[in-house]
Structure 1
Amino acid sequence: MDVVTLGETMVLFAPENSGPMRYTDRFSARIAGAESNVAIGLARLGHYAGWISRLGNDEFGKKIRAFIRGEGIDTSQIILDETADTGLFFKEKLAPGEWRVKYYRKDSAASRMKPGDVKESYISDARFLHVTGITPALSDDCYETVLTAIEYAKKHHVKVVFDPNLRRKLWSEDKARKVLIELASKADIVLPGIDEAEFLFGSGSPEELARQFHEQGSSAVIMKLGKKGAYYLANDSEGYVEGFKGWEVVDPVGAGDGFSAGVLSGLLDGLELRESVQRGNAIGAMVTMAAGDVEGLPEKDRLLDFMHNQVQGDVKR
């Protein structure tokens, strides 16, 4: 197994027209979840990924499982819960560049994940464990489940990759800050957005904020800077990697997950960190050009064509 990840995936309902949902009577149903997005992104690039989660034993849960399995992800660790429902959410496009999201995930099946759902042997066989800050926000049991997965990874020298993926509505700011810093300190690689870094440590330059993570114990920090690209800091290197420009943003949601998949793919392919970050920038850009979380995730040949044909912009330091 190249990468194992765990977390909640939901069914996303998107209105077919723009404006408030009260005026819509037709919706499309898609699949969305940060961790499964990363797994799907990796699978499309030729890597082998596994996803751990709970789904309701309902039609939505079966839809998610079938979709993710169809993308080539190992779904052997999914538990279908008879006593809880699969989470749902709705996404409104109010105006160009303006989105509003409404979640219906309280007491969902995924929020009932517990440490016993994670098998040590499943984690030990992976090269990377990918976790986000969304999962521990779902419940205390989910928090303990993430800690258990990280413990197994550390025990078996599996590199831990952590994306804070801050969701303010899921918990208090104090608790979020405490847990996210704790998890970052346990990770080998941290993938924060600049806004998330400022939430955790206060205002500062990308270099200053990356050093804050580095001092917590991470061996590599890759700071996402949106269209500007990214800044990376490792034990033996650092620098800015320019973002790609010249495309139309259709839907920004999922770009960070595409970035994570790109970075991990580069590392799995033996690329240097800078080249891996460049791959992350490219996939992040490609994801924004399609509606939906996974629709823009490319296969390897399309990714390489995009990187060859697109122009990278300047990073403003």
Structure 2
Amino acid sequence: MDVITFGETMVLFTPITPGPLRFTSSFQKTIGGAESNVAIALSRLGHRVGWTGRLGKDEFGIYIRNFIRGEGVDTSGVIFDENNPTAVFFKEMRPMQEPNILYYRNGSAASRMVPEDLNEEQIKTASFLHLTGITPALSPSCRETVMHAISLAKKNGVKVVFDPNIRLKLWNKEQASGVLNVIAAQSDIVLPGLEEGTILTGKKQPADIAACFLEKGVEAVVVKLGDKGAYYATKAAQGFVPGYTVTRIIDPIGAGDGFAAGFLSGLLRGWSLEEAVRLGNRVGAFALTTAGDVEGYPYWSQICQDRRDTEVLR
């Protein structure tokens, strides 16, 4: 297994036409969840990936499991909960603005996740454990599950990659900062966005944000800067990698998860940190070109369809 990840995946309803949801009568059904987004993107890039989570034992839960499994991701660790439902969310496509996201996830099956749901044998076979800051925000038991996953990874020599992915609809800045800084300090690689980095460190410049995490013992930090690219740093090196120009952005949701997948793909291929960041930027740019969380993620054949593309990447 190259990467193992877990968290909440929901059924996503995206309106066929833009505008206020009160005027919408037709939706496209798909899925969305930061961790499964990363898993699917990595699978398309040719890696062996596992995703696990707790889903409702309902039609939506079966749909999610089948969708993710159909993308070549190992879902053998998925647990179906007979007592709690699968969560759903809606995108409201607003002209000239980013989509408005409406979640219906309180009391979901995923929020009932407990440490016993994790399979140590599955984690120990992976090169990387990918975590986000969404899961610990769902409930105290989910928080315990994340910390248990970190302890299992460390016990088995598995690198921990942490994307803070702060969701202020789930908790406030103070709560998020307290919990996520603890997780970051136990991670090997941290991937904050610029605003997230400021919330967690109080710093505003990428280099200062990275320095704060490095002082906590993190091996490598990549600060995502949106269309401007990304700044990376270790104790020995640092640098900036510009982003890719996307002439027409359809939907920005999922770009950060695409970056994480591309970045991890680069590391798994033995590339340097700078090369991995460049691949992360490229995969993230693909995500901007279609509606939906995962629909735009490229296959490795698309990344390498022109030899010059690979030369630019590396």
Q: After TM superposition, is the score higher than 0.5?
A: yes
Equivalent AA in structure 1 for residue 280 of structure 2 = G
Q: How does 1:1-317 map to 2 (within 5 A)?
A: 1-305=1-305, 308=308
Q: 1:172 to 1:282 in 2, by over 3 A?
A: same
Could you state the TM-score of these two structures normalised by the residue count of structure 1?
0.96
Q: Is the 8 A contact 2:246 2:285 kept in 1?
A: no
Across the aligned residues of Structure 1 and Structure 2, the Cα RMSD in angstroms comes to: 1.5
Q: Is the 8 A contact 2:56 2:84 kept in 1?
A: yes
Q: Where in structure 1 are there 5+ consecutive unaligned residues? A: 313-317
Query: What secondary structure is seen at the aligned counterpart in 1 of 2:276?
Result: helix
Equivalent AA in structure 2 for residue 36 of structure 1 = S
Residue of structure 2 equivalent to 1:315 = none
Deviation at 1:305, TM superposition (A): 3.7
Alignment coverage as a number of residue pairs: 312
Could you state the TM-score of these two structures normalised by the residue count of structure 2?
0.97
Q: Is the 8 A contact 1:188 1:219 kept in 2?
A: yes
Q: Is the 8 A contact 2:54 2:80 kept in 1?
A: yes
Q: 1:125 to 1:246 in 2, by over 3 A?
A: closer
Deviation at 1:307, TM superposition (A): 8.9
Give the whole-Å Cα distance in 1 for the aligned partners of 2:103 and 2:20.
15
Q: Give CA deviations for 1:62-119 in whole Å, capped at 9, x if unaligned.
A: 0000000000111110000000000000000111333111000001000000000012
Deviation at 1:199, TM superposition (A): 1.1
TM superposition outliers: structure 1 runs of 4+ over 3 Å: 305-310
Report % sequence identity.
54
Moved more, 101-110 or 235-244: 235-244
Give the whole-Å Cα distance in 2 for the aligned partners of 1:88 and 1:31.
9
Give the whole-Å Cα distance in 1 for the aligned partners of 2:305 and 2:179.
40
Equivalent AA in structure 2 for residue 13 of structure 1 = F
Equivalent AA in structure 1 for residue 291 of structure 2 = A
Deviation at 1:308, TM superposition (A): 3.8
Q: Give CA deviations for 1:5-46 in whole Å, capped at 9, x if unaligned.
A: 010000000111111000011011111100000000110011
Q: Where in structure 2 are there 5+ consecutive unaligned residues? A: none
Q: Is the 8 A contact 2:98 2:252 kept in 1?
A: no
Give the whole-Å Cα distance in 2 for the aligned partners of 1:272 and 1:22.
49
Give the whole-Å Cα distance in 2 for the aligned partners of 1:280 and 1:158.
21
Give the whole-Å Cα distance in 1 for the aligned partners of 2:283 and 2:153.
27
Q: Give CA deviations for 1:199-221 in whole Å, capped at 9, x if unaligned.
A: 11224211111101111121000
Q: Give CA deviations for 1:144-200 in whole Å, capped at 9, x if unaligned.
A: 000011000001110000000000111132211101101110100000000100111
Query: What secondary structure is seen at the aligned counterpart in 2 of 1:94?
Result: coil
Deviation at 1:250, TM superposition (A): 0.5
Q: Is the 8 A contact 2:98 2:251 kept in 1?
A: no
Moved more, 221-230 or 173-182: 173-182
Query: What secondary structure is seen at the aligned counterpart in 1 of 2:80?
Result: strand
